[in-house]
């Protein structure tokens, strides 16, 4: 029998995907592991790969179609083999044991609640096979997490305890923060065509942003702390370092310096390097900084892992590389999830100061304004110094005013005296 190719959940939060392009045509031979199609998920364009060897017998959905996860999009089998459902796009599979990710809906036949079962948990209530440990299943059931949407980190992609805990209450890994760092490459200017308005359907990423950010500002009690930082010495340090690096080195930006300073300050203030996890707070010992990057039609936060342990040069190179791939929508899920704190920078757009929306389950984000020369009192006179206004958004369930202020104080000290970062 021909093997069905399903729309797979290619990211932890993906519920449907747009089939961008078939890379194999009907009749092409395919091997297990080969790319069949490019699929736009809620985050990125990713590859849908074959799970069986044979020939691509039939393509069920044309390019450009949005398909729910679990639906059959093609068939692979022996040349000349018949496939069922010839013609129309096959409906969602109902609980078959096929390989691939299958949408789970209980079979239509009468399914009595399991009465008189003496074993409460171990029997899967759902016929769909999800690779997950028994403990993960229990945790997920309690937390209302849909295991099918969780990316497993155990052997063979098995969902284990830490994955469910990481998924938090929203069955999703951390996602984009609130603000952008670049202009939209092609700003959407409405065409004057005589029509009063234009209805543009939401793209996958827009839908996710809408859902996630509403979720964020709603239940999360935000408060904001603003401070003004003298960047004169940081600017001098940056000039000197870039001179040292010369042509070959790749330039260090203010953003790199700020990311490094934030990471180092978080090491000293673990209270701000935390995730709110409904019934507990997870304080991170590692520092992973999410960096909001504007991409066409949205934004995404690639993560600089262990930023406290990386040199400015490494941070610079990594952030350029990640931002580049983010814009081409080529980030892997593990590259934009798992941040412990985020930084959002609108300095390059002459924004003096702004507030950013927290990206749950993180507990804080700093919003970076532009660095502008200002007259500041100095002794009896006035000096012109380059100054930066920075605003931290805090989740009050995790961070209290004084805790956030203490963190900002350290951050300010580090940026005003960049040599302190060497300590």
Partner 1 sequence: MANSFDVIVLGGGPAGYVCAIRCAQLGLTAAVVEQEKLGGVCVNIGCIPTKALLHSAYVANLLREAKEFGIEAGDVKTDYGVAMKRSRRVSDQNSKGVEFLMKKNKITVVKGSGVLQPGKKVKVGSDVYEAKKAVVIATGSRVKGIPQIGLEINKTTVISSDEALLMERVPASLAIIGAGAVGMEFADIFNAFGVKVTVIEALPRILPLEDAEASETLSKSYRKRGIEVIAGAKVTKANVAKDKVTLDIEAGGEKKQVTAAAVLMAAGRAVNTENIGLKECGIQLTDRGFIKVDKNLQTSTPGYYAIGDVAGPPMLAHKGSREGVVVAEIVAGQKPHPIKYDNVPSVTYCHPEVASIGMTEDQCKEKKLDYVAGKFPFSANGRARGTGETEGFVKILRDKKYGEILGAHIVGAHASEMIHELTVARENEYTVEEVDLAIHAHPTMSEAVAEAALDSLGRVIHV
Minimum Å gap between C-beta 272 and partner 1 is: 23
Q: Which is nearer to partner 1, 133 or 417 (CB)?
A: 133
Site string for partner 1, 68-107 (x = CB under 8 A): ----------------------------------------
Q: Which is nearer to partner 1, 1 or 135 (CB)?
A: 135
Minimum Å gap between C-beta 122 and partner 1 is: 5
CA atoms within 13 A on the CB side of 297: 14
Closest CA to 389 of 350, 363, 342: 350
- Can residue 130 be called a binding residue for partner 1 (CB under 8 A)? no
Could you say which of 88, 116, 122, 248 contacts partner 1 (CB under 8 A)?
122
Q: Which is nearer to partner 1, 4 or 148 (CB)?
A: 148
- Can residue 138 be called a binding residue for partner 1 (CB under 8 A)? yes
CA atoms within 13 A on the CB side of 201: 3
- For residue 128, give Cα distances in angstroms to 149, 295, 384, 399: 13, 36, 67, 41
Minimum Å gap between C-beta 133 and partner 1 is: 3
Using the Cα atoms of residue 411, residue 412, residue 416 and residue 417 in order, give the sign of their dihedral. Answer: negative
Catalytic residue among 6, 269, 288, 396: 396
* Total residues interacting with partner 1, rule: CB under 8 A: 15
The two structure tokens encoding residue 342: 């985020």
Q: Are 215 and 396 spatial neighbours (Cβ–Cβ below 8 Å)?
A: no
Whether 288 is catalytic is no
Could you say which of 1, 114, 121, 383 contacts partner 1 (CB under 8 A)?
121
Residue indicated by tokens 């980190």? 153
Stretch that binds partner 1, among 114-122, 195-203, 252-260, 318-326 (CB under 8 A): 114-122
Q: Which is nearer to partner 1, 96 or 153 (CB)?
A: 153
Q: Which is nearer to partner 1, 159 or 331 (CB)?
A: 159
- Can residue 120 be called a binding residue for partner 1 (CB under 8 A)? yes
Minimum Å gap between C-beta 137 and partner 1 is: 9
Q: CA–CA separation, 108 vs 233, rounded Å? A: 69
- Can residue 219 be called a binding residue for partner 1 (CB under 8 A)? no
Could you say which of 94, 161, 282, 327 contacts partner 1 (CB under 8 A)?
161
CB-count exposure of residue 203 (10 Å: 0-12, 13-18, 19+): middle
Q: Are 12 and 101 spatial neighbours (Cβ–Cβ below 8 Å)?
A: no
Q: Which is nearer to partner 1, 317 or 405 (CB)?
A: 317
Could you say which of 135, 202, 382, 383 contacts partner 1 (CB under 8 A)?
135
Could you say which of 23, 65, 66, 133 contacts partner 1 (CB under 8 A)?
133
- For residue 148, give Cα distances in angstroms to 74, 126, 129, 278: 21, 11, 9, 21
- Can residue 338 be called a binding residue for partner 1 (CB under 8 A)? no
Q: Which is nearer to partner 1, 154 or 338 (CB)?
A: 154
Minimum Å gap between C-beta 373 and partner 1 is: 42
Task: Write b or e for each residue in 264-282: b if 16 or more Cβ atoms lie within 10 A of its Cβ, otherwise e.
Answer: bbbeebebbbbbbbeeebb
- Can residue 116 be called a binding residue for partner 1 (CB under 8 A)? no
Q: Which is nearer to partner 1, 143 or 405 (CB)?
A: 143
- Can residue 396 be called a binding residue for partner 1 (CB under 8 A)? no
Q: CA–CA separation, 233 vs 227, rounded Å? A: 17
Stretch that binds partner 1, among 23-31, 108-116, 130-138, 269-277 (CB under 8 A): 130-138
Q: CA–CA separation, 11 vs 15, rounded Å? A: 9
Stretch that binds partner 1, among 128-136, 235-243, 315-323, 412-420 (CB under 8 A): 128-136
Stretch that binds partner 1, among 74-82, 117-125, 216-224, 399-407 (CB under 8 A): 117-125
- Can residue 278 be called a binding residue for partner 1 (CB under 8 A)? no
Instruction: State the residues that interact with partner 1 by CB under 8 A.
Output: 119-122, 133-136, 138-139, 142, 154-155, 160-161
- Known catalytic residues are 396
């Amino acid at each position: 029998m021909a093997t069905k190719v399903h729309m797979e959940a290619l990211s932890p939060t993906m519920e449907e995907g747009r089939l961008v392009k078939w890379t194999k045509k009907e009749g092409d031979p395919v091997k297990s592991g080969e790319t069949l199609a490019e699929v736009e998920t809620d985050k990125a364009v990713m590859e849908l790969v074959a799970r069986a060897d044979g020939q691509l017998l039939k393509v069920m959905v044309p390019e450009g179609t949005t398909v729910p996860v679990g639906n059959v999009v093609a068939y692979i089998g022996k040349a000349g083999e018949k496939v069922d459902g010839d013609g129309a796009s096959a409906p969602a599979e109902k609980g078959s044991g096929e390989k691939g990710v299958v949408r789970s809906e209980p079979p239509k036949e009468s399914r009595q609640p399991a009465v008189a079962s003496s074993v409460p948990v171990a029997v899967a209530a759902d016929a769909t096979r999800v690779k997950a440990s028994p403990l993960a299943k229990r945790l997920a059931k309690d937390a209302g997490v849909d295991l099918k949407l969780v990316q497993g980190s155990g052997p063979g992609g098995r969902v284990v305890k830490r994955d469910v805990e990481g998924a938090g209450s929203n069955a999703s890994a951390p996602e984009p923060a609130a603000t952008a760092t670049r202009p939209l490459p092609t700003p959407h200017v409405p065409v004057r065509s005589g029509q009063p308005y234009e209805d543009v359907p939401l793209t996958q990423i827009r839908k996710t942003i809408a859902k996630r950010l509403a979720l964020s500002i709603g239940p999360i009690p935000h408060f904001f702390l603003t401070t003004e930082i003298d960047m004169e010495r940081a600017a001098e340090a940056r000039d000197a370092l870039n001179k040292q690096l010369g042509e070959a080195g790749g330039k260090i930006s203010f953003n790199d310096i700020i990311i490094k300073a934030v990471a180092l300050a978080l090491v000293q203030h673990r209270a701000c390097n935390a995730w709110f996890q409904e019934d507990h707070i997870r304080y991170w010992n590692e520092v992973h900084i999410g960096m909001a990057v504007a991409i066409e039609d949205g934004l995404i936060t690639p993560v600089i892992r262990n930023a406290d342990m990386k040199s400015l040069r490494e941070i610079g190179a990594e952030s350029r590389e990640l931002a580049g791939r983010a814009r081409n929508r080529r980030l892997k899920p593990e590259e934009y999830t798992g941040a412990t704190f985020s930084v959002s920078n609108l300095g390059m757009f002459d924004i003096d100061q702004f507030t950013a929306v927290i990206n749950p389950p993180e507990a804080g984000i700093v919003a970076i304004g532009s660095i502008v020369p200002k007259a500041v009192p100095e002794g009896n006179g006035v000096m012109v110094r380059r100054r930066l206004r920075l605003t931290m958004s805090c989740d009050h369930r995790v961070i209290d005013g004084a805790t956030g202020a203490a963190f900002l104080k350290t951050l300010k000290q580090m940026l005003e005296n960049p040599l302190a970062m060497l300590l």
